[in-house]
Amino acid sequence: MRKFMNITKALADEKRVRALLALRQGELCVCQMTELFGLAVSTVSKHLSVLYQAGLVESRKEGRWIYYRLPDKKAPEAVRQALEWVEQSLSGEPRIAEDLEQLKHILKIDPVEICKRQCRS
């Protein structure tokens, strides 16, 4: 029951759902997600933490940066089903298409440069 509640809590926020769908493009660092959503680093980190606690994302740390990705095929069945449901339900949503278009531009920028820019703000 706890796992189910964590997953539903994680999916109850638009930014978290959009983050999951952005991660379909591959691993992203927190600064790239911050750039995508225009939120404070702490806010993005909190959203990603909720997703992590639910098992909907995995993370790795490299130097100062934390990178997030969708879990692999070894993820629990409930997690795999939830991710599949989100993707199927929202794949044609205009906001998601906008995010993916913006993400294409963000991915062309060195994450170090994005982070430096955010630190100056």
Domain boundaries, the chain: 2-120
pLDDT at 114: 83
5-45 residue pLDDT tens:
999 999 999 999 999 999 999 999 999 999 999 999 999 99
- Give dist(CA 88, CA 113) in Å, integer: 34
- Give dist(CA 100, CA 43) in Å, integer: 20
pLDDT at 121: 56
Confidence at 84, pLDDT banded by 50, 70, 90:
very high
Q: Is the pLDDT of residue 73 over 90?
A: no
In terms of C-beta density within 10 A (0-12 exposed, 13-18 middle, 19 or more buried), how is residue 89 classed? Answer: exposed
pLDDT at 3: 85
- Give dist(CA 117, CA 114) in Å, integer: 5
Hey, CA dihedral for 95, 100, 104, 110, is it positive or negative? positive
User: So what CATH class is 2-120?
Assistant: mainly alpha
- Give dist(CA 116, CA 22) in Å, integer: 22
Rg (Cα) of the chain, in Å, rounded? 14
- Give dist(CA 77, CA 66) in Å, integer: 26
